[in-house]
């Protein structure tokens, strides 16, 4: 038995905890965590703007892995910190939980009180150069991996004010250190939207982008709904200031069924919502209930409207500015925990209710929109209950007849291949491992769920077979605990039709079984399009580029190229060795990086509005030639 004594205990010094466990501070070391470093420094500059000290922020992508963020705020303090003989700048960049945001003296409003942002960025950077413009001079200090590389240096005279931070992420921490200009561009624009009049300039690859919006989030909402039919031409706007809270909201309803609520706290995006978002939802629901009751607009058959009815088609931007102790959930600040639900709810309820009564024609339009959503909800519930009643007639598990199930009942080792076509299903059955791999062939292209009502979706034979095979139901009553397979693999032909079928299936899973994607259960198979026979050697290629690369490597040796017409035409041995064998195949796991952008993309590509697809195709057409259609 191994002894466990005091000598076995480690105490991590300085910023070592950050480098040992970066995920605790930035969420992950993926692209999301990499860009979180940029957001931390950018948020500090925005905090200067929120407190009235900064009007311009400049972001420059110096190289693919090097970025500079500069503001014209007050600059990082450079005087000696207490009795340490170290400058305040060195303390801020090398010590966790240091900063000027722990009381209300230096910052009345800030994007959180963790006091770890700059230190974490410093710890996870192979190099960081901080420059402060204060007291008529430039003051510069260099750091590497969270440790000072130089002392604080007094530089040339300067009339400028502010801070400039240049850093490069450490490749020992991040597998990829290349910044994504598009992500930074979107973040810069959103910060400009959230701060009226603040100018943010982003420079990358010789391009300069300048953002400045006089109407702030109202301009933001107009951009989000551009091209979408809305009930009213201009957004509702609420701005309210109370003790230690300033609230700014812009929202409206579109004819789409999905909703988009972008919530922020002190200009920090709260992707997981929080108390401010709960207050907003409750306030809007209560205001519309009161309006419907007072105007006696509620039709027979609907006892009450719900928050989901009100949410349908709602697009909103909500930003609260809090003084004092702002409580976020975790260092990545994805959720606001500060106790302000009732305050926000009260402001929204009274403001919206007064507006609806003062503008009754607009109020009736919105009320009818919500009533239609409620009627659709009730009809969907009745359709589900009808399906449930039919399934309850049989006490045995009602699996679809086309399903060739696997022998194993252990979910984590079982896989379901959803195949395109009966012939592909036949090849797949011969190629599979009968113990752990089940096959469900589907006929042709399934229903596009983005444009269909729920009763039509539930009546579709192919979708019913998929739902029945998986055994977990669909949203909003999806039960992950009843899922029968640990991997659901979409296996379609490697051509345009196959890609379309795969997209239709992805749309269904995204809208009605999103938990499968969130939990990492959904995959896309990669069957080859070509087979290259070169003597005794055999190669497979998923596309023309891979085929050409293989041929080039043959250095003139004789070869024959065969093209598979589809999965059904592929010999079972080929299908097994390339696509189904767990030791040889390649699978793409389906993941969601940005919920709002993903939802918007599905709406654009698969929704009822064809004009958005026309624009998308027109934009992308120049990049594609010789399509296999």
Indicate which residues carry an active-site annotation. 420, 493, 495, 497
Chain Cα centroid distance, residue 332: 14
Identify how many contiguous H helices and E strands the chain contains and give both numbers.
20, 22
d(C-alpha 222, C-alpha 216), whole Å: 10
Q: What single string gives the DSSP state of each residue in 407-455?
A: S---GGG-EEEEEESHHHHHHHHHHS-TTTEEEEEE-SPPP-TTSS-HH
CB environment 379-411: b (16+ within 10 A), e (fewer)? ebeebbeebeeeeeeeeeeeebebbbbbebeee
Radius of gyration over alpha carbons of the chain, in Å?
29
Backbone dihedral region for residue 296 (phi beyond 0: left; psi -120 to 50: alpha; all else: beta): left
d(C-alpha 252, C-alpha 250), whole Å: 7
d(C-alpha 92, C-alpha 554), whole Å: 58
To which H or E segment does residue 629 belong?
none
d(C-alpha 186, C-alpha 445), whole Å: 35
Helix, strand, coil distribution of the chain in percent, nearest 5: 40, 20, 40
Residues facing 253 on adjacent strands? 314
φ, ψ (nearest 5 deg) of residue 371: -65, -45
The length of the chain in residues reads: 629
SS3 208: strand
The owner of tokens 């705020």 is 73
């Amino acid at each position: 038995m191994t002894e466990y004594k005091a000598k076995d205990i480690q105490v991590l010094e300085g910023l070592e905890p950050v480098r040992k466990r970066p995920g605790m501070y930035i969420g992950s070391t993926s692209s999301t965590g990499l860009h979180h470093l940029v957001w931390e420094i950018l948020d500090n500059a925005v905090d200067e703007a929120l407190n009235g000290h900064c009007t311009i922020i400049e972001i420059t992508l110096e190289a693919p892995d090097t970025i500079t963020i500069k503001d014209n705020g007050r600059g990082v303090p450079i005087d000696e910190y207490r009795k340490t003989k170290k400058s305040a700048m060195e303390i801020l960049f090398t010590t966790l939980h240091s900063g000027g945001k722990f009381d209300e003296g230096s910052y009345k409003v800030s994007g959180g009180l963790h006091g770890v942002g700059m230190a974490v960025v410093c710890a996870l950077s192979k190099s960081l150069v901080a420059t402060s413009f204060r007291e008529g001079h430039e003051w510069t200090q260099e750091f590497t991996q969270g440790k000072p590389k130089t002392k604080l240096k007094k530089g040339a005279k300067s009339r400028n004010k502010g801070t400039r931070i240049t850093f490069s992420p450490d490749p020992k921490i991040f597998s990829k250190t290349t910044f994504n200009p598009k992500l930074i561009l979107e973040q810069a624009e959103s910060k400009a939207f959230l701060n009226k009049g603040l100018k943010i300039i982003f420079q990358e690859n010789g391009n300069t982008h300048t953002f400045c919006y006089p109407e702030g989030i109202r301009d933001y909402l107009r951009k989000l709904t551009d091209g979408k039919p809305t009930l009213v031409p201009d957004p509702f706007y609420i701005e309210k200031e109370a003790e230690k809270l300033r609230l700014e909201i812009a929202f409206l309803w579109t004819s789409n069924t999905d909703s988009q609520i972008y919530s922020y706290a002190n200009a920090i995006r709260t992707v997981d919502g929080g108390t401010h978002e709960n207050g907003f939802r409750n306030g809007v629901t209560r205001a519309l209930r009161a309006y419907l009751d007072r105007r006696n607009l509620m039709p027979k058959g609907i006892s009450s409207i719900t928050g989901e009815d009100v949410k349908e088609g709602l697009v909103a931007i909500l930003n609260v500015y809090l003084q004092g102790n702002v409580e976020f959930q975790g260092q990545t600040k994805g959720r606001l925990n500060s106790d302000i639900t009732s305050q926000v709810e009260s402001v929204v309820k009274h403001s919206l209710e007064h507006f609806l009564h003062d503008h009754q024609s607009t109020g009736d339009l919105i009320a009818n929109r919500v009533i239609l959503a409620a009627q659709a909800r009730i009809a969907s519930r009745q359709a589900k209950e009808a399906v449930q009643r039919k399934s309850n007639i049989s006490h045995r598990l009602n699996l679809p007849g086309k399903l060739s199930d696997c022998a194993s009942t252990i979910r984590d080792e079982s896989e379901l291949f959803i195949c395109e076509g009966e012939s592909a299903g036949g090849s797949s059955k011969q190629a599979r491992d009968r113990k752990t791999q089940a096959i469900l062939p589907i006929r042709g292209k399934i229903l596009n769920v983005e444009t269909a009502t729920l009763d039509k979706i539930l009546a579709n034979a192919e979708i019913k077979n998929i739902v029945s095979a998986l055994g977990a139901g669909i949203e909003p009553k999806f039960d992950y605990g009843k899922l029968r397979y640990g991997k659901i693999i979409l296996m379609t032909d490697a051509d345009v039709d196959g890609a379309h079928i795969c997209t239709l299936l992805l749309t269904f899973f995204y809208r009605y079984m999103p938990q499968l994607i969130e939990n990492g259960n959904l995959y896309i198979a990669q069957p080859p399009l070509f087979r290259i026979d070169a003597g005794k050697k055999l190669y497979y290629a998923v596309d023309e580029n891979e085929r050409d690369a293989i041929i080039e490597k043959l250095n003139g040796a004789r070869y024959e190229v065969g093209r598979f017409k589809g999965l059904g035409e592929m010999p079972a041995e080929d299908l097994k060795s390339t696509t189904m064998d767990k030791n040889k195949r390649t699978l793409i796991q389906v993941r969601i990086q940005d919920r709002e952008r993903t939802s918007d993309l599905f709406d654009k590509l698969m929704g009822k509005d064809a004009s958005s697809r026309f624009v998308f195709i027109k934009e992308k057409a120049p990049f594609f030639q010789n399509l296999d259609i």
